[in-house]
Structure 1
């Protein structure tokens, strides 16, 4: 597949651990509700309708790139982590948060899931959106594809939506450990095919979102989440190699798993690890020992703190990541997704501050 030549490869170089002239920057959920142009599209179309309509997903993916042209170094395809449970045959509604009308209650309910998922057929609309968006970007910045991590998806599928206690999904881990591991691997296999399909369609990096990684004790994370994350990293690379397709950088965002960084750098198999705001960048650098690049990690709530606070904290973050040297192996981002009430001009200021303070 032929695409326009890439004009800005900063994020790809940083993901490979290379020294860069400044830190590349993008933010999670950058195509989202804080943008009035997103809200205008959303007022006319359902959430999953947008995900499934390539032209609409492309338009929303491009919105922040247009608004912040020259300031932002990657686009991320507009989709949702819960398209994977949908591909497995589960119904997911968005009203306004995710809701599963028929969640998994006991391991017997696993029989309700589709046994042999044709991922290309079920999620081909994401591939179409990626290909269209890649052409529309005209090489301005790279395009990121993504999926949810098995443990995070498992949690939604059992809880039936978001949760503060994780009572139901953790009960599964402790009452039905072998059935839980089998389901986690089954989800991982769909994720592998999904990420490979996204890369074939034109994604130049991919990210795995383990949003609930920090809800597990370290030894339970090692037992239940890490093996499926390793399975995805190795499985994607093996399938790409078998098809003679070059590998792309892979990022893991294990939110809250800061005590696991050294282990993840050693074992998980990803090129980049995303960190939240609850760890000092210098400590994160020390933990990973240069084995992986890092992505993060400004507290998203600082975007509500006014421009002086944004500038002060971006400067601090850049100093802690750089350690007095040129930026190396660091992709600047928030420590989680941008939230809906942010003023888009305050996000612009964040980008401008990153350009100023991360430069060599």
Structure 2
């Protein structure tokens, strides 16, 4: 049994239920911009050791919550846990990001890959449960995974890429091979996310970081199709509580209607999409998350507050908005600055959730 949730503002907003003010959390809120995170990572020895030890994962998940009045915690882990569990040998090189000892380049490579289960990633499930207890009901816990397409880019390229030439070559020259890989990844992601729900996650986010590099038709076939497969297989209610799901495709603002049609509770927006336009297009179907430029956090307090107000006013009155960055927080941000943003969201957001005269008249039967 987990402690009773005290602040459900984030979950209510995702489900488009009334809230007192706009909730806020930040992608990559536990990270290198925090000196306490850097100290924990040094103690752990390296990034993967931090992820694979539930005590360390819990410690760094809670660090931003001790500094800031956030409305949600997100599991500290990495999107590449599934490819690592498939045996590709994930490692990190300083200044170069994630790399794999083994890459996927042909049908034989894909055929040799297993479909992973939650048991293959038991250290993540243990971390979820540990964190959920440690939160003591203060805020909800978000579980997450990378999208099949995004995971496949790393598996095929062998790490980060600027041109994605290997995966795009496979997409055009051997699409059946790529579809087979994406299907295995979709099944693995579904099991992984459901395992997180059973372990204690109260909401889920699918990170489609590289979906935006695709053309429209290719996005539908090779990214969105497999996120829809995941959506169809997810646990959406557990122990009497709904489990909201957020779908986030970076640079995917042109496909909002298509994303909404797959069935998420919310769509994440990056900073290149106008939130007012997004609400007009899909806000009747889903909640919206985002979408301030992460670089705003380099600015002074008055600029941060002004930009927060611009996003809040862009969304407008009513529920269905979770404030967030348009992507992850940058490592060189002054750790004092996120507090300016978070406090501004809570303070300035209240007026967008106050009952209007028409609402009061309706409540009074007038």
Q: Which of the five TM-score ranges fits, normalised by the shorter chain?
A: over 0.9
1:30 aligns with 2:29: yes
Match of 1:295 among 280, 289, 297: 289
Of 70, 85, 101 in structure 2, the residue corresponding to residue 72 of structure 1 is 70
Aligned to 1:207: 205
Relative to the length of structure 2, the TM-score reads 0.92
Counterpart of 1:56? 56
* CA displacement at 1:148 relative to structure 2: 0.3
SS at match of 1:146: strand
Task: Report the 3-state secondary structure (helix = DSSP H, G, I; strand = E; otherwise coil) of the residue aligned with 1:94.
Answer: strand
- Residue of structure 2 equivalent to 1:256: 251
Report the Cα distance in structure 2 between the residues aligned to 1:107 and 1:19, rounded to whole angstroms.
50
DSSP-derived class of the 1:43 partner: helix
* TM-score normalized with structure 1 length: 0.94
SS state of the match for residue 141, structure 1?
Answer: coil
**Cα distance in structure 2, aligned partners of 1:246 and 1:297:** 27
8 Å contact from structure 2 (residues 193, 204) kept in 1: yes
Aligned with 2:322: secondary structure?
A: strand
Secondary structure (helix, strand or coil) at the match of 2:222 reads helix
Where 2:206 maps in the other structure, the secondary structure is strand
Which residue does the alignment assign to 1:11? 10
2:169 is the alignment partner of 1:171:
yes
1:187-206 aligned at under 5 Å gives the runs 187-206=185-204
In 2, Cα distance between the equivalents of 1:201 and 1:51? 16
Aligned residue in 2 for 1:286:
280
Provide the C-alpha distance between the structure 2 equivalents of 1:108 and 1:221, rounded to a whole number of angstroms.
25
Given that 2:14 and 2:322 are in contact with CA atoms closer than 8 Å, whether structure 1 keeps it comes out as yes
Note if contact 2:22-2:349 (Cα within 8 Å) is conserved in structure 1: yes
The corresponding residue for 1:129 is 127
1:280-318 superposed Cα distances (whole Å, 9 cap, x missing partner): 110010121410100000000111122222111111111
Residue matched to 2:304: 310
**What is the deviation of 1:112?**
3.5
SS across alignment from 1:192: helix
1:173-209 deviation digits (Å, cap 9, x = unpaired): 1111112112111101000010011000100001000
Equivalenced residues, count: 348
Residue 105 (structure 1) aligns with: 105
Q: In the alignment, does 2:342 pair up with 1:344?
A: no
**Are 2:141 and 2:203, in contact at CA under 8 Å, matched by a contact in 1?**
yes
Q: Cα distance, 1:52 vs. partner? A: 0.9
Asked if the contact 2:115–2:184 (Cα under 8 Å) also holds between the matched residues in 1, the reply is no
Aligned counterparts of 1:318 and 1:33: Cα–Cα separation in 2:
27
Kindly report structure 1 stretches of 4+ aligned residues shifted beyond 3 Å.
243-247
The residue aligned with 2:355 is none
RMSD, matched Cα: 1.4
Pair 1:41-2:40 in alignment: yes
Distance in 1, matches of 2:80 and 2:241, equals: 27
State how far apart, in whole Å, the 2-side matches of 1:288 and 1:19 are. Answer: 18
Give the 3 Å change call, closer, same or farther, for CA 198–53 of structure 1 in structure 2. Answer: same
